Amino acid sequence: MDSSTRRRCASVSIFRGWITFAAVVVVVSLRLLTTPGVAAGQTCAADGDCGKFGACINGTCCKPSDFANRCGGKCGVKCPDASVCAHNGDCQTGVCSGKRCCGPACNGNCSNSCRDGQGCSSGADCSHFACVNAKCCTPSDASNQCGGTCGAKCPDAGICRTNSDCQNGACSGGRCCGPACNGNCANHCRDGQGCTTNDDCKSFACATGTCCAPSDISNLCGGDCASQCADGGVCNRGHDCQSGSCQNGTCVAAAPAKKHPAWK
């Protein structure tokens, strides 16, 4: 066999080799694409049995609408609110809007989309993050879900815009506060003004319903407070003490009166 013939035979062999390789690739690809595990409805033990776009839920391969929550589609499991959905039938509530499951109380609007006056089950349902008495509203204080259009009045220290936002009818400096201090908020009450707690007073001392400046802040006594301090209390002068004796900043028992030398 001459060299020219040998070259032709080698070329034919190489060509046949490539044809065989291509055929094998096609067969393998077809088998991968038609593997039984990918088909929906087939039994499975894990997601890996169901192919790239399938999930194994309750022992059956299916394609969920929400892979993260493993629900929706034809998987037989309804999705909770905020899950990805394609149809109303994917959702526990029966409402799919904007490809998300959401409560029907908001006319199909999803989380944080409900306007004031629309139904809700929690603040997360509402555009202003406030749900009071199952209705969305705009609060002055979102944390306390009160004030504004919510119908619920805010407690002391709640954020407010107007007096009507507050339980006590007094809003000062953006906070609800007791009317005893003429509408001033916590730590604004001066000595002699009414108070209910120590925090109402600039001096942080509320004794018998009145702000005062004590010599002993722990025992709320002395100074211009109504009560004097017992022995051991902090004092600045004798008047701060029940004993009338203040030594080195501490109330002490009064020294016994000295007898006159002529007294027997």
Query: What is the percentage of the chain residues whose pLDDT exceeds 70?
Result: 72
pLDDT score of 228: 96
Last residue of a domain, one of 102, 133, 168: 102
pLDDT score of 261: 63
Residue 22 lies in a domain: no
Q: Which tokens is 250 given?
A: 């501490």
- CA 141 to chain centroid: 14
Maximum mean pLDDT: which of 29-33, 88-92, 155-159, 188-192: 88-92
pLDDT score of 92: 86
- According to DSSP, residue 15 is labeled H
Residue 85 lies in a domain: yes
- According to DSSP, residue 76 is labeled S
CA distance 50 to 115: 42
Query: What is the percentage of the chain residues whose pLDDT exceeds 90?
Result: 28
pLDDT score of 47: 86
Residue 84 lies in a domain: yes
pLDDT digits (tens, 9 = 90+) for 187-244: 567 788 777 777 777 787 888 888 899 999 889 999 999 999 999 999 999 999 999 9
pLDDT score of 26: 44
Spell 95-120 as b/e; 16+ CB within 10 A means b. Answer: bbbeebbbbebbebbbbbbbeeebbb
Residue 76 lies in a domain: yes
On the question of pLDDT at 8 being above 50, the answer is: yes
Grade residue 30 by pLDDT with cuts at 50, 70 and 90: very low
Maximum mean pLDDT: which of 102-116, 170-184, 245-259: 245-259
DSSP string, 108-159: T--TT-BPTTSB-SSGGGBTTS-EETTEE---SBTTTTBSTTSSPPBPTT-B
Residue 30 lies in a domain: no
pLDDT score of 187: 55
pLDDT score of 210: 84
Query: For the residues 231-259, what does the mean pLDDT come to?
Result: 90
Instruction: Tell me the residue type at 159.
Output: I
The overall average pLDDT reported for the chain is 77
DSSP string, 17-44: HHHHHHHHHHHHHHHHHT-GGGSTT-B-
On the question of pLDDT at 3 being above 70, the answer is: no
Domain count, the chain: 2
Residue 235 lies in a domain: yes
Residue 8 lies in a domain: no
pLDDT score of 208: 87
Query: For the residues 10-30, what does the mean pLDDT come to?
Result: 49
CA distance 61 to 24: 28
CB 146 within 8 A of CB 123: no
Query: For the residues 100-119, what does the mean pLDDT come to?
Result: 67
Residue 154 lies in a domain: no
Look up the domain containing 65 and give its range: 49-102
Q: How many residues does the chain have?
A: 264
Return the higher-pLDDT residue of 60 and 53. 60
* Torsion over CA: 168, 171, 177, 181 (sign): negative
Last residue of a domain, one of 38, 69, 102: 102
* Least confident segment among 22-26, 66-70, 103-107: 22-26
